[in-house]
Every structure is written in C-alpha cells, then in structure tokens.
Amino acid sequence: MSQIAITVDGAQLSVESDQRPTHIFADAKDVVVCKVNGVLKDLWTDLADGDVVESITISSPDGLAVLRHSTAHVMAQAVQEVYADTKLGIGPPIKDGFYYDFDPKSTFTPDDLPKIESAMRKIIKDGQRFKRRVTTESDALKELASEPYKCELIGIKGSAGEEASVEVGGAELTIYDNLGRDGNPVWSDLCRGPHLPSTKHIPAFKLMRTAAAYWRGSEKNPMLQRIYGTAWPSQDELNAYLELLAEAEKRDHRRLGTELDLFSFPEEIGSGLAVFHPKGGIVRRAMEDYSRIRHEEEGYEFVYSPHLTKAALFETSGHLQWYADGMYPPMILDEEHNPDGTIKRAGQQYFMKPMNCPFHNLIYKSRGRSYRELPLRLFEFGTVYRYEKSGVLHGITRARGFTQDDAHIYCTKEQMVGELDSLLTFVLNLLRDYGLNDFYLELSTKNPEKFVGADSDWVEATEALRKAATAQNLELVLDEGGAAFYGPKISVQAKDAIGRTWQMSTIQVDFQLPQRFELEYSATDGTRQRPVMIHRALFGSIERFFGVLTEHYSGAFPPWLAPVQAIGIPVADTFSDYLGDVIKQMRKAGIRAELDSSDDRMQKKVRNAQMQKIPFMVIAGEEDQKAGAVSFRYRNGEQKNGIPINDAIAEIKKAVQERIQV
C-alpha cells in the first residue's frame, strides 16, 4: 500500500492511501463530518496526496446542519416504509432542525408522527451507513422514475433554489444508499450530501409538526405535506430546546396580544395589518413618548411624510429597480379616457412607501444646506408598507404595515466618526431603558463583488463603525462581505429573557442615496460637498419592538409600560367607596389606576389581575380603611400591608419614573 502525505487539523501526517477520515478520526466520537481542502465531505470520502483535512464536530454549525439533514434523510426513509407510494420532495436542514416535503397518498395527521418516529428509531438502531454514489443524469432519471419531484430537480440542476441545493447543488449528481447490516442498500435518495457516517450517529431527535407547503415554494405547484423535526447532539440538548419552545409558546406575543387585549389582525383588513386596542395603544404610546423625549434630548428634529408617493421618487431612490418585489403594487390614478373607453392620458403610478429615506432626502434638499446645520438629524415615526410573503408573516414582529422609528443623519465626513460613536451609545442606552441588557454587535463589511462608492470611503466608514463598536466593550461579530451594496452597517443583536437573539437596531452608512439625490452642503471654503448619510432605526419598527418586549416580559410589562399600573381590589363591597377614593387620588397623580367594581369575589378579582399581569394590586380591608392605608399585592404573590396612601402613590410613581420592573 502506498503512502500519502496529508494535513489533518494542521498537523502533517503520512498515512496509507486507503485511509479515510472515518479511520483517521476513529477515536474522536464527536467528529461526524470533515472538510477536505475547504469543502464539506463525508467521513467516508477518499483522500489524495496533499489533501488538507479538517475535523468537524457534531456541535459545530456545519456538524449540526449535517446531523439535521441526515435525520431528515432518515425520516424520508421511515415515511416511505410506513406509507408506501409516498413521493419525495426535498429535505434541507433549517435553524434548530429540518423538514422534508412529501406527496403522500393521504394527508398526514399528528397521529402519524409517532409511527414515523418509531420507524426512524429502528433505522437509527440499525446503524445504516450512508454511502455516496456518483451517477449520471440519465441513470438517475431511470432509477428515480417513480419519484417525479426528484426527476424535476435533476432537470433544473444548477438553477434550483437554495433549499433544493441540498439535493442537487453539488458539482456531481449523487445518490446516497443506506446500507443495511448485510452491506446491501435498503433505501436510496438523490442527495448532494454530506451525511453522518451512519444512522447511529443521530443521538436525539423529535418530529414536531406537519404543515402544507407548495412544491418549491410556488403557488403554481402542487401542495405537498411537510414534516418538521429537530435533532441535537444529546438528549439533554433536545430537552433544553423543547423546554425553550414551551417557554416561547407561553410568551408568544400573538397569544398574549389576545389574552391581554393588546392588538388584533382582523380578517377584514388583511394579512399582516394590525389594529392596536386601547390597552395595546397605551403600551405603544408609552414606548413612543419616551423615545420622542430621548430623541429630542439628542438633537433630533421631527418630520412627517405621506404614506404614498408617485413612482418617480422611488425611481430616483432606486427602490423600484431593486426593491419592487417587496412593495405593494402601484395604484394608477388620474387616468383620462376617450368616449370609446380608450386611454386619452396615461395615469400616474402611486406607491405605498416601503421606506422613509427618500422623503427625508427631499426635506434635506428643500433648500440649500450649510455645514453649520450638520449633523442634521431627521426623525420620523414613519409608517411603511411592505408586501411580505404570507409565509413569513409572524404577528406584529413581521407584518406588512408597520411604523419605523426612523432617523436619517446627514453629516460631513469629518463628523462621521464622532456621530457613529455617539449614535451607538444612544441606541444601546435607549434599548437598556426598555429593559434589554444583553447585546452583541455585528459589523457587516463590503462585498467585494457588489458595491457602490469609493474604496477609501468604505474603509473610512467601516473603520469608523468598528471603532464605535469596539468602544462599547461588547462582543463584536464580523459579517465579512455581508454589507448591502450601498454601505457598511452595524446591527445590534439583543438577547431576551429566555436567551433568544433578536436583531434590533441597525446603523447603516449609505454612499448611494446622497449621490442619487444629489445632496449637497456648502463647506467652510464655500465649495459644494456631498454629505454622508446614516440610516438608523432603533426599534426596527414599533410593532416589532412591541412584540419583542411582550415576549421578553412575557406580558408582565414594567409599570411604566403596563396598560393598567394599579388595580383596586376591595376585600369586600363595604370597602369599595374608600378604595374608590384612593384610586381616584392615584389617577390624579398620573397613575393608570382602576377599581375592580365587578360582582366577582375578592379571590376572583386577584386572579383576574394576575391574568392581566397588572403590576400593583391595591387591596383595602377594614384595617387599611381604619389606618388610612392600603395593602399591595405584587405579581409574584408577595404582599405588603398597611401602606399609607401617600406612600403607596409614591411607590408606584417611583417605579414608573425610574422605569424599573416590580
């Protein structure tokens, strides 16, 4: 046997030429796949002289994706065992799991999942090896004659979407055979791979739910049945994930939105378009009011712009060239007709605005600007409309109409560094005021293939962003080449109470729009100069931030945001008048207080207040009345008795003013 020289995880090795990664990593049980010369490969892959091999563990992002795809693969095998004649679609890994699309004889129900799971367990126990086999298009078409969807993928190889690339995205067309104990194939699937070495490397999985899904995401195609599942490197990690899901389910803002009477999505209005009810309105107004005050303190000027505009504005901005898909289709207005119905004068196209920036640029341009006015910070609670696909809509965190807390800052190049630095500090402190405290930052840098503007400008702006980010002493993640073509950006990622990450604010430098709008200012030497433009949305949108805060607090808002801050609960009817007067005093002091004057008994009233997650229950019985006092009952069930009325008012006001949680 001849020897080959290879590099394994940085070390030089000489091994026999029939050695494969699976032999080399035999002792490292958590290595499930590898990279050979930078390309992800099965551990069964052949090696050649000079290859550079890197081990990939099951817990790494690549390892998890391979684990999850391999589990999807096993699920497809199990489905075809249990429900013969089911046709296969595609089965990619997704965040925290996987899915596979099927065309079964009859629709799957939740009862099918345990049956499929138990068939999967058998396959896993069997320890079937995933064996890669290169094939040709004509052979594959013959072999897969009974799988119409797979055949379609073979036909479109190369042009298939990202998810279909799991099947046919590689340079070669490959089929994976699952080998049974006797070494013979028991099942095969058209797949690019790679996979785990064998099915027994799947430590923990669970099937989650079924859903309908159009083949390849198009409504023109047949409706298939999708099964979602999840897979993890250990049972403990699977359990932790399931617990997180259960916790997230309890906090789901869509559910709390109904339970707490905050907002709804009436059918009559349309998908993704919410109405805020009075209680949601109070939370929202409190959020907006505080934001407005802080922006004023920071030197922002408030502007307003209409919800729709003629097409020309979005032609100038470029939105119609590169963002038309995300916009509502145009309204054609002011069309004039001849008596015979033919068009005499063509109408004007009007669009709902998907972004506020072009309007702010027009405000900037409405007159000459001098360097003395810069930085000019224009702020708007600007409502925008985006035609999101119905599949991605998610309550108020992903809607079709929403209001951005949008600002555009125009400054000189010299001012950029200082402006970005103070901007980021402002953004983070404001998020902290709303109760988010755990952040990391992401810096998206130039995509060398796709950008406008001078290299030197990019370097300068990227360095300014990096400097601003580094000054915050937060973890900084590089998103190399991830910037939009018009400029680098920083995004603030915030972790919520249960550790989920939400992208919040973005600070985006823009080299393009000032050019397209020919924005200028007169500099100290009298020359005309182009300002730097910075886009900045702090909450993203008010609705989205509302949704995030609802989930973060699980609906138990801190007093300053709570729709009802205090609720009066008399121990018995006889104390209603006394307590009603206390509540009146609280309202006079600016507290959102109500008296529960329903016929319910006290215990029921306490339960209702708990369900409504009201921060202060103000209770009064005989002793309280005698002493001119009240008792507080908090959300955690703790109680404080005999608080003089003035002290009670002061405690609530303090909690509101200091924006603390109780």
Q: Which residues bind Zn ion (CB under 5 A)?
A: 73, 191, 357, 535
Please identify which of the residues 69, 192, 295, 489 carries the catalytic annotation: 489
How are beta strands 39-41 and 31-36 bridged, if at all?
antiparallel
Give the sign of the dihedral formed by CA 595, CA 600, CA 605, CA 608: negative
Q: Please identify, using beta-carbon distances, which residue of 73 and 613 lies nearer to Zn ion.
A: 73
Q: Please identify, using beta-carbon distances, which residue of 224 and 562 lies nearer to Zn ion.
A: 224
489 is an active site residue: yes
Structure tokens at 56: 């990939």
605 is an active site residue: no
Work out how close the CB of 218 gets to Zn ion at its nearest, in angstroms, rounded to a whole number. 23
Please identify which of the residues 201, 360, 535, 605 carries the catalytic annotation: 535
Distance CA 617, CA 610 (A): 9
Q: Please identify, using beta-carbon distances, which residue of 71 and 462 lies nearer to Zn ion.
A: 71
Work out how close the CB of 175 gets to Zn ion at its nearest, in angstroms, rounded to a whole number. 10
Distance CA 67, CA 194 (A): 10
Please identify which of the residues 20, 129, 251, 386 carries the catalytic annotation: 386
Work out how close the CB of 6 gets to Zn ion at its nearest, in angstroms, rounded to a whole number. 26
Q: Please identify, using beta-carbon distances, which residue of 73 and 279 lies nearer to Zn ion.
A: 73
Give the sign of the dihedral formed by CA 644, CA 650, CA 653, CA 655: negative
Q: Note the helical H segments in 305-344.
A: 311-317, 319-322
Q: Are 335 and 345 in contact (CB under 8 A)?
A: yes
Supply the DSSP string of 346-415, one letter for each residue.
PPEEEEE-S-SHHHHHHHHHTS--BGGGPSEEEEEEEEEE----GGG-BTTTB-SEEEEEEEEEEE-HHH
Work out how close the CB of 660 gets to Zn ion at its nearest, in angstroms, rounded to a whole number. 33
Distance CA 441, CA 456 (A): 23
Instruction: List, in order, residues 6 or more apart from 548 with CB less than 8 Å away.
Output: 253, 397, 494, 496, 502, 504
Q: Please identify, using beta-carbon distances, which residue of 73 and 201 lies nearer to Zn ion.
A: 73
Please identify which of the residues 132, 408, 446, 633 carries the catalytic annotation: 408
Please identify which of the residues 192, 252, 295, 357 carries the catalytic annotation: 357
Q: Please identify, using beta-carbon distances, which residue of 489 and 535 lies nearer to Zn ion.
A: 535
516 is an active site residue: no
Work out how close the CB of 342 gets to Zn ion at its nearest, in angstroms, rounded to a whole number. 41
The reply to whether omega before 375 is within 30° of 0 (cis) is yes
Alpha-carbon Rg for the chain in angstroms: 31
Work out how close the CB of 250 gets to Zn ion at its nearest, in angstroms, rounded to a whole number. 35
191 is an active site residue: no
Give the sign of the dihedral formed by CA 481, CA 486, CA 488, CA 493: negative
357 is an active site residue: yes
Q: Please identify, using beta-carbon distances, which residue of 534 and 593 lies nearer to Zn ion.
A: 534
581 is an active site residue: no
Work out how close the CB of 379 gets to Zn ion at its nearest, in angstroms, rounded to a whole number. 11
Please identify which of the residues 77, 404, 472, 625 carries the catalytic annotation: 404
Sheet harboring 566-570: ordered strands across? 593-595, 566-570, 616-620, 629-633, 639-644
DSSP 8-state assignment for residue 234: S
411 is an active site residue: no
Distance CA 218, CA 221 (A): 6
Angle between helices 455-470 and 413-433 (to 10 degrees): 40
Work out how close the CB of 327 gets to Zn ion at its nearest, in angstroms, rounded to a whole number. 15
Work out how close the CB of 328 gets to Zn ion at its nearest, in angstroms, rounded to a whole number. 18
Q: Please identify, using beta-carbon distances, which residue of 73 and 386 lies nearer to Zn ion.
A: 73
Residue 176's nearest CA partner among 187, 163, 162 is: 187
Instruction: For tokens 């023109």, name the residue.
Output: 220
Q: Please identify, using beta-carbon distances, which residue of 506 and 585 lies nearer to Zn ion.
A: 506
- What are the residue numbers of the active site? 357, 386, 404, 406, 408, 489, 535
